[in-house]
């Protein structure tokens, strides 16, 4: 049986979102973060809240995390750390996302 996951919400919140960094960053994350399968219970929502900065090399530096499932968190970290952010990004900006997952 295949596991089907739907990203219920990816909420982008940042105190100061600029045109290039905010929308472009959200698009890059949406394109990069993909899960083919996760070992979570059916109809149970799992979440990962994360705050991070983007360094000068375009890599994610995680500042803080809150999560409901260790395995989901580990897979998300692996994908985020493998990203290379391109475009104009403010390296002093703190970005916050909430990823929510539910198995249907």
Q: Total structural domains in the chain?
A: 1
What is residue 58's DSSP assignment?
S
Domain housing 19: 5-103
Q: For position 14, what pLDDT does the model report?
A: 36
pLDDT tens-digit readout, 44-100: 899 999 999 999 999 999 999 999 999 999 999 999 999 998 887 788 999 999 999
């Amino acid at each position: 049986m295949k596991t089907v996951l739907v990203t219920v919400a990816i909420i982008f919140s940042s105190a100061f979102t600029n045109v290039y960094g905010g929308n472009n960053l959200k698009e890059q994350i949406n394109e990069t973060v993909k899960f083919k399968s996760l070992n979570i219970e059916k109809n149970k929502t799992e979440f990962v809240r994360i705050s991070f900065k983007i360094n000068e090399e375009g890599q994610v530096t995680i500042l803080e995390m809150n999560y409901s499932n260790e395995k989901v968190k580990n897979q998300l970290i692996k994908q985020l750390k493998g990203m290379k952010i391109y475009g104009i990004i403010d390296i002093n900006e703190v970005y916050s996302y909430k990823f929510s997952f539910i198995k249907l």
